[in-house]
Amino acid sequence: MRIALFAATLILAPAAALALAVISPGDAARIMHDRHEGMEAIGKATKAASRELQGAAPDVAVVRQSAGIIGGMTRKASGWFLAGTGPNVAKTRAKPEIWQDPKDFTAKLHNFQMAANAFNAAAAGGDVNAMKARFADLGGTCKACHDKYRAPEENH
């Protein structure tokens, strides 16, 4: 029961922060910049891991480094989507639905963070098949969020 309550708190507290936080325009610009740079880092690390895991002899060191970057960035991501950092403030691929449905978005972000942690653990373990499986799970969480909450490139 305590674990379920703790897990619910971890999911719902960031959702409340998404909806309730009030930030200055300068803070909004900094957060949006950090979000953009963080997502770029996640994207580059994901591409590097994918390239290795699709190869005949994956370089485990590259996969580990990529998994570490992804895991580190996902821990920061909970602070990247505060109210006042959406498309009504500045150009961004983050869709307004993030702030309109913060509970769902936060749940998807939490799933992404958990998948990143699992991928990082698999990479640390060195079993290439486990890395591939956890990387596939990670990709599913990326897609679930991007499909609903990220605008196409041309709207950016």
Dig out the tokens for 113 from the structure: 């963070």
Residue owning tokens 């897609």 = 143
Give the pLDDT band of residue 2 (cuts 50, 70, 90).
very low
Residues 6+ apart with CB under 8 A from 37: none
Q: Cα–Cα distance between 109 and 68 in angstroms, integer?
A: 17
**Full domain range(s) for residue 62:** 2-155
pTM across the whole model: 0.84
What average pLDDT does the structure give for the chain?
89
Q: Cα–Cα distance between 120 and 63 in angstroms, integer?
A: 9
Strand partners, 150: 94
In a 10 Å sphere around its CB, with 0-12 CB exposed, 13-18 middle and 19+ buried, how is residue 24 labelled? Answer: exposed
Whole-number Cα distances in Å, 122 to 10, 63, 94, 115, 155: 23, 10, 30, 10, 36
Summarised one tens digit per residue, pLDDT across range 39-63 is 999 999 999 999 999 999 999 999 9
Dig out the tokens for 61 from the structure: 């060191």
Summarised one tens digit per residue, pLDDT across range 127-138 is 999 999 999 999
Q: Tell me the CATH number at 23.
A: 1.20.120.10
Residue owning tokens 């960031």 = 14
Dig out the tokens for 28 from the structure: 């909004």
Number of domains in the chain: 1
Whole-number pLDDT of residue 57: 95
Q: Cα–Cα distance between 144 and 133 in angstroms, integer?
A: 17
Question: What DSSP character marks residue 90?
Answer: S
